[in-house]
Every structure is written in C-alpha cells, then in structure tokens.
Structure 1
C-alpha cells in the first residue's frame, strides 16, 4: 500500500491517506514541522523536526510508529534542526541546523556519529543519493554542497583535504528552497531551486552547471519525472511548472527558456511536491491546506485530501507493505526485549566511548534497494562502514572519485606537456645565446 503523508507548520498533526483509494488512515498528533522536516525512516517509522517558534533557540525531533497516533519518542538536539533526511534502509538520520551544521545519527542506538560545519548559514534541505553514498545539502547562504560519506567518515582524509565537500555550487543568489538528485550514480543530475526564482541543473560527474531556468515566481518545491525528461516546479503563484531537462532551449507561453507548460488548481502557493512510486501520479501540497493528486500525463486531478489545519508544507509518499521487512531479526529481538518498536532518542552530544572499545556499532548501509536489510553487529563503526561503502563498487562516490582522478590525470598531462615545451624553448634559447656569445667572442678575437 502506498500512503501519502502531509504535515503543516502549525499543529495540525500528520495526515495519512491511501494514495490509490483515498481512504484516510491514522492521523498522527502533535506535529508542526518546518519545510523538509518530515521523513519516513526506512518505512519503519515517521520522524519530524519541530520548531514551536520560528526564533526558537531549541527544537525537537519526534518519532511516531505507524500503529499509534501519539508521539512515542522525543529527542532534543543541541540546537534547532529544520530539514531531516534518512538513507534508504533507515540506518542513519541526518539533520540540518540553523547554525549551518549537519548532524548525523545512527538510528538504532541514537548515537551522534558526526557533526560538521556545512554552510555559513542555516541548512534548508537535505537529500541522499540513490545509493546513499552522497548527501546533498542546500542552505540559506545560496550554496548547494555535495558530501561524500567516504570523506565524512574518514578522519584522516578529512584532515588532509582542503574541504570536506566534493562540490560547492554557488550559482544561486538567495536562499535554496529545495534540492533533488536523479538516478545514474556518478552521471546523475542535481536540480536546485531558490528564492532567486531560478532552478539550476548541475552535473554530478563534472561539477558544472548544465542549465539555468528562470521562472515567473519563486519556486519552493521540485519533483523529478521518473524518466527524467522533465521536472515539476511548485511556485508561489499557485502554479506547477513543467521544465524540460534534455531538450534544446525552448520558450513557450511567455514563461521563459526550457519551461514547456504549467497547470494549476491551488488557490495559494504550492509548497511541496512528491511523485508516486507506482503509476504516473504527482502529489502537491499548498498553503491552501489541500493535497492534490494529479495524473502527470493528462494533468487532471485524480483525488484531493484536506489537511486538518493550516498550510501543508511537507508531502511524503511511502510504500507500507514492506515496512516490517526493513528491521533485521536482531533488531526485532532487541525491540521485543525492550518492549518498544522504536529506537531510543537521538543523542544531544557525541558520546565519549573509546573508539578502540568493542562498544561501537557497525551499520551495514546496503544501498537504495528495498531488498537490502540493514544489519547491526558489534565492531568498529567508522572503519567497517568505509569498507562497506568501498565494497559496493558502483557507488556514486567511488565513480566520482574515478572521474576526478581522470580529470586530474588529464590536467597533469597538459601541465607536463606545457613544462616540456617551456623547457625545450628555454633550452633552444640558452643554446642560441651560447652560440651567439661564442660567435661574438670569436669575431672579437679575429678583430684584435
């Protein structure tokens, strides 16, 4: 069963509906989440960040099980967390802080594994790549950065590198509102939206800007068509724009280059978009409090859901039938012993357990495939996790490393050829100078 989850920035809880029948499921209580603050953790449970006041100096992260409407686990990080993201198996949760820091927790133990300075201003959005080896972040400072978990977990390499990030895209002039990444590993594209009314398409393999699209209004949300021919952009003027990804420059409907159409039924700004995992369904949420399900091909409304209260600012589409399969047998046994289905609260600060002790936990990442089950075994977390990623071989991060090495090799060869040519020219010049000097000396001697 595919379900649609919707939350609001006011305390309207989390609405849950069957995507294909429209039947309302449980309504989860006590949730007022910021934009990008609602996630499903490995389809096992729901998590949301909370900010009671926009100027709050503290916040919380709440967990709900699928079967109960009440909050079951409350966490209180060291600073307010706005965007959240989880890798596909649900072994990690990352949170973006108002300070510009990113926090990374291990789900099953709640341990704070990493915290690093990611941006100069607040982090606004986070997303994992399809194989979970890369994390992409957007910020109020207008930058989009690509983080390799190889680098984040490798302290030695991190100390040697000038920057922890793989790429820092700085093309936007205002706050980044949304970021999505496509499929294709190293050859994937990244699309970012900003309050500067542009969406930018970036090449992950080359680290360059492929396309800049200017919209009539600010874009707050984007969703990629599964075939990646187009992407949809939810605008503050209430329209959903369609932008071409792999065609030549076109201008239609006086909208601008690469915008090939738009459709609308929301009376206020479109704040969030999501794509259904089956069929060709696009789901949109708006400040008008409505959730609309569209047939993306015909652009007709299939069904509508009304959120309980306030504007909708988060939409998720989650497949529920495999949710119990994502928990390993070890974790299920542990949960039964503890009398709970949910993991413990997230740590506020990193603990001081000796890294050489055997108390660490190794998390098997697995990748984006739904058939992979995360396992938890006693070992050294960091070194084993790096090996786990390296053994995947096809990860975007390793492919990107290869591409960068090829590029560095080509640059080195070019520099070598330049130095060789300069040496040859210098050698010719010196020989010529010696010959000219020798001839001049001989002429002087003959003259005398």
Structure 2
C-alpha cells in the first residue's frame, strides 16, 4: 500500500485522551499529531493529583474505542464509565453508572457489545444499542485487569490478578433462555504464577483457529489454544511484563516490561542463515529472551504501560509511566516520534505538590482515519444529535432476557407502537404483555409437540407418528395425482375419437364431392 493511515488513541493518567493519526508510507513513515483532546476523569485542564494517578496506574486497560461508536473510559475512582462521541469530543456525551469500579473495559469489533471487568472479579456485559445489561456473573476472585474480544467477536477472554485466564463464548453469555450458562467458561488457562497483566487473541484468525496470548508479572508470555486451554509455547523474558502485542502473522510478539524496555521475540525457529529454513515451534517449547541484543526497543524512562501495532505491523507505539508515547519503526526499532501530554497538563504536573507526571495508560490502534470518523455528522447541529442519540442509558442490573426478547419481538412485529432508540421511558411505558402459551392446542395435531413427553420411547413414538403422517399425506397426494392422470387419459381418448370421426366425415364429403364433379363432367361431355 502506498499510503496507509493508522489511528492511535493515547490515554494519559490525568484523564486526557489524545488522538494521533500516523500517515505511514514506505519512504518516510512520518507521523502527525491530531488536534482532538478528550478531557476525562482527571479534572479540569487535565490536572492530576497523586491519588488519581495511583488509581489509574492500577488500571491500564480501562480505555476502549470503536471507529463507529466512540471512546469509552472507566472512571478511576467513581463507579462510572465516561463516553465520548467522535463528532463532539470536547465533553463526555454520556456518563454511565455501573455497579462497581471497572478495572478493564473492551468493546467488540462490531460495536454491539461492551464488556467490563470489576475490581471484585465480576464480569459485566452491556448491549450498546439498548443499554441493557446482558449478563453479570462472578468470573475471578481478584480484580480483572484485561478483557479482549476475538476478531470475529464470537468469544472474549478475561484475566487478572488471580493469574487465571478464562475464555467466554458470546453466544453463551447472551443466551436468553438459560442465563446460568453465562457463568460457564469455555476454556480456562492456568499456568502463570503471578498476576496476568495483558491478554489478546490472534489478530487475524477466527476464534476456532486462534490462540490466546497472555503476559504476566512472572516474566512469561504464554501461548494457549483458545478452544482447549492447552499451553502451546512459553516465552521467558528478563523482567516482569505489563503488556503485549502480536503481529498479524503471529511470527513475532512484543512485550512491554517493568524496566521501560519493549522486548520482541520470534515465534519460529531458524531463518537467520541463508540455508536455514523457517520452522514452527512444537507444543511445550520454551523460548528465552536475553537482556540485551538487537531485539529491544529502548527509549522510555519508566515501566511500559501499553503497546499497540499497526495493521501491517510496521509501526509500533508504546506508552509509559514516564508520561510519553513513542512511535517506533518496528522492523528497524528506530524512534519516529515522541508524544507528550499537552502543555497545560505538563504545566499543572510541574507545580509543587501536584504529584508525579501523569503516565500514558493506554494506546490503541484504529484503522479508520479521522476524517472518516467525523463523516457521520456535518455541522454543529448534526454533531449534537449524534452525541445525544448514539448512546442508550446503561442498566445497572440484568433484566429478564426472555421477557425482553419476547417484548421486543412483539413491539417490532405488531401493535403499531414505535420505539425510539434512546428514549428509555417509551420502552418502559409500552404494553408488551404476551398471551399465555397453551400447550394443549398443539397436541391434537398428529405431529404436535407435547412438553410432557420427555422419555426416549415417547420421542421415538412421536417421531414414528410424524413419519407415518408424512407418508400418509404423500400417499394421498399421489393418489390424487393418479386420479387426475386417469381423467386426463380418458379425456384424451375422447378427443382422439372425436378427431377421428371428424376426419372420416370430412374425408367422405371430399370423396363424394369429387365423384359428383366427375359425373357432372362426363354428362356434359356426352
């Protein structure tokens, strides 16, 4: 690609989120800084106090963003999630109340679901279109530090301070018929000895073909099979790890460490010499990364908090507790640009008694460029409408999913009642009652369903009746067709007989006419 645009979101510890758009090319790989700034939980002007910085330092994965939705940021102290719309970023478009402090937040790629992990180890899932809490269940016994969706949004992984990682199926969590299935994890990864700080799925593989990558303070990055929870590969680094990123081909992993260095490691064997072929690793292999070498990114003065890769894996961005975010050329490990906090925030942080410099808590990449994000609205009025109507108020507790689904179907299919996407009062005022279900009205039918029949013998009998009913029905249709064929055959015979009679009569008339002409001619000749 001659021109590629990769958008990164950088969140500072003062509640300030800057948008930086990198216009990368094969020649320069330059980066430009966008002018959009979001003021979040840190207070006016991006001011920071030590207590808020400490709270934010314990939650680096509380920023989530979607190209078609906006920016979500969990408050470091209050039980709130702040939401910004792309079309109006000067102030939050909504403040969502949540049951507890959220320590990890993730938005699905399709913008339909958002999952939060609480300080108690509980998982919360909301549907963005309606604001309903789909599920709330206990997943960990310590704070959750990371939530990540698979590429196809069919599953998500949660991990935290208890050193466990769980994979959850979205279909199970959103199951309205059996809400208890939400708390049943699809796979569990146990193998780390210290808290897990980051986790992600394979960047370009569907869930059934993907792996799960986890980084931990025990200096290990482990690669797991997402469907079985089997540990495939373990990579041992020199320092405790705080974050990770995987290139799209899953051949190189990048891990940020507590010593301010971003390490990289190959996930294959060989390939260094001309005659050495590239080979994949076997299950149970361990890779050890040295403290030095040419596979490290040095430039930060504090622990790495977050790293992100561009889609083509040519640009790497890292954030640190030293308050800077560095853009790297991944193949050459050269610094392209260094981003700092805004001058106002830096001046506030430099004052005596204001506390340490706000750290960069989260960097995240989005493929769509800035002008496409803002194309959803034109003008101040449209921007206001987008900011006001795009986010439904979140529910604080899960509702009855079966009743909600039936009510929604009824409201859509009949009654002539309209429902506004963001008018929650209209939803509560609708008469969405359903008539009672009568199971007996189905038992009279030969192949009807009776909920009381639950034994294998009765099911077999019902299946045999169904087969017999279908056979009889087909036989009756066949008999009707045969009768129709017989009628058509008789009708065809009658038509043929009439045709033969007409032919014989016309032939006799022609012969008699010719004979009469011949007799008349002979008489005239005489």
Common topology (TM > 0.5): yes
Q: Distance in 1 between matches of 2:409 and 2:71?
A: 26
CA distance in 2, matches of 1:335, 1:147: 36
Partner deviation per Cα, 1:129-150 (whole Å, 9 max, x = no partner): 0100001111111001100112
Question: Residue 184 and residue 252 in structure 1: after superposition, are their counterparts in 2 closer, same or farther (change >3 A)?
Answer: closer
| Counterpart residue number, 1:217 | 239
Q: Residues 244-283 of structure 1: matches in 2 within 5 Å? A: 244-247=266-269, 248=281, 254-255=290-291, 261-278=295-312, 280-283=314-317
**DSSP 3-state at the match of 1:274:** strand
Question: What does 1:317-396 align with in structure 2 at a 5 Å threshold?
Answer: 317-318=365-366, 319-320=368-369, 321-323=371-373, 340-351=388-399, 354-355=403-404, 357-359=406-408
Structure 2 unaligned residues grouped into runs of 5+: 24-30, 43-55, 270-280, 346-357, 412-420, 428-526
Higher RCO, 1 vs 2 (CA within 8 Å, ≥6 residues apart): 1
**1:397-447, Cα deviation, whole Å (9 max, x unpaired):** xxxxxxxxxxxxxxxxxxxxxxxxxxxxxxxxxxxxxxxxxxxxxxxxxxx
Structure 1: gaps (5+ residues): 53-57, 328-333, 363-374, 379-448
SS across alignment from 1:359:
helix
- Alignment of 1:173 with 2:193, yes or no, is yes
Q: 1:294-314 deviations in whole A, cap 9, x for unaligned?
A: 111111111111123511010
User: What is the deviation of 1:255?
Assistant: 4.0
**Partner Cα distance (2:219, 2:109) in 1:** 31
Structure-1-length-normalised TM-score? 0.71
Alignment-derived partner of residue 35 in structure 2: 25
Verify the 8 A CA contact 1:59 1:80 in the aligned structure 2.
Answer: yes
The answer for the alignment partner of 2:252 in structure 1 is 230
Aligned position for 2:125: 104
Distance 2:232 2:294 in 1: 18
- Shift, 1:151, TM fit: 1.8
2:100 counterpart residue number = 79
Closer/same/farther in 2, CA of residues 293 and 156 from structure 1, 3 Å limit: same
* Cα distance in structure 2, aligned partners of 1:238 and 1:355: 49
Whether contact under 8 Å (1:44, 1:324) holds in the other structure is no
**For the residues of structure 2 that align with 1:204 and 1:293, how far apart are their CA atoms?**
31
335, 341, 350: which one aligns with 1:307: 341
* 2:7 aligned partner: 3
Q: In 2 relative to 1, CA 262–78 (structure 1 residues): closer, same or farther, beyond 3 Å?
A: same
Two-structure CA RMSD over aligned residues (Å): 3.1
1:103-142 equivalent positions in 2, closer than 5 A: 103-142=124-163
Count of matched residue positions in the alignment of Structure 1 and Structure 2: 350
Tell me whether 1:316 sits opposite 2:364 in the alignment. yes
Distance 2:157 2:227 in 1: 14
TM-score where L is the length of structure 2: 0.61
Higher Cα Rg: structure 1 or 2?
Answer: 2
Match of 1:60 in 2: 80
